[in-house]
Structure 1
């Protein structure tokens, strides 16, 4: 995206990156972006759930059939509706990036049925939706920062967590949690946002350049992401992690129906759900 920005603007615009939490947590950086302290922010949807109800929908459990369905929906009209919903909150939604399918890993054994989660302490993001999801499946949800999970697994503070292939591998959580069960319960994207304060001070031509550069970066990101997923799978296979499919995913889907009832409450949310489901592979 930075190279495109620089090229399209003849060198007037460039990106300076602050990776690895240098500017604080996602909630910290969202606040910075809202007030114009930083220009752009790549953030997960979970911190936005308490700000804008429409962002809850793409985070719903078992909403998407697969990653292809998610990409199709979020690149289309449903995704545009979510991006536009951020403007009243001081953010301009530019595009969606991938964050993979989230599955459950733990220290005890394979999860094949919801009953296998009974009593397990499972780390989740600090999100009411994720807490409700894990508890609906029978586990005890434990909100915790990502950086604390490894030690918590070692010390037995938690029994497991849930995340995508690359995160499970890159954090080295697999060294402790040797069972990875492919629940694929959430396939939520991440979103690239811009400070509305900064956006409104730009010319229309510069806004076009930023939006074009962001949208063109999506296919690059997805290519890199798919490569990383394959690499992570290979690393985990070589490490001896036990990976298993789910015996009856319908049992998991049934368990989370109360989560949908709790969090999908407005006509706008229901309309968004219907639009996304209409783009299902099976539709």
Structure 2
């Protein structure tokens, strides 16, 4: 059976284990059902997620022109502390920026490769942690806008990583990796590390610890990243799914999110 369409990040369902779906315009693929089975991924072309044109993808699923102009690719996306909508200051499109920035945001600790600090919109819980391949996560504060979340993350970056070591994350088997960091204790220890403007949003007693269980038959000991530009055709047996990665039996891993905007043909 063959499926063809534009890659976007895998859709997920928070269950035990996490359920994964590849959604195309006219079809979808339930990936959990393919575990232990062979599949083929073939590169067909490009289609910008913003303008829809068949132009080479530059970054985040956008062609170069859209990445440089779209409000959805502003610097504040990756650096929340640069958000200015709360000041009525426009970056690229104030109405869009207000919709995204002026809503509840959560600063959290997550255990993916190591303990990391991050920011996500309240509506993206627990999706954000699933996408990162975190096996546990805990909210630190919920604040009313992206700017406050951003300055909190900046303050905590002095004490925690803010990026995931993707290779370590993919190899980490929670059943064999030894004792895990106690995220509840970590949260309790950091109140006075966060900015004064955010102190009132900190609740020591709100300890909603999330646990993520990923569908993995076997963990890789070594990983080799599949690049569709260099290897437009790949075949392998699916052995697991973690974060936004497909894991194959031979150690090849495919980061679906990296190749958003690529048109692919998947044969199973």
Normalised-by-shorter TM-score class: under 0.3
**Higher fraction of helix:** 1
Instruction: Tell me the TM-score normalized by structure 2.
Output: 0.24
**Higher fraction of strand:** 2
Instruction: Tell me the TM-score normalized by structure 1.
Output: 0.23
